Structure 1
Amino acid sequence: KSFQTLKENDQEVVIKTGYETIIRKKFDFPMPEQVG
């Protein structure tokens, strides 16, 4: 399964995995956050 980038900028990146999970990675924080 592939990843789809939903949003990417200087502060964060939001990706959707092949399993319909949305993950947000804010560069200020060490761990990614699952949002969906």
Structure 2
Amino acid sequence: FSKMIPREATAEVVWAVSGDGMSTAGLRFLAEVPLFS
């Protein structure tokens, strides 16, 4: 999986708590150039 991510980009785990009290985890990719513009 790590090989699929460009070396320039790093990922951090973002935790979000939903209204029902359950928490979900997602990945936010940080790169010099935004992946989604």
Give the TM-score category using the shorter length: 0.3 to 0.5
Give the structure with the higher percent helix: 2
Quick check: which has more Rg, 1 or 2? 2
Name the TM-score, length of structure 1 as normaliser. 0.37
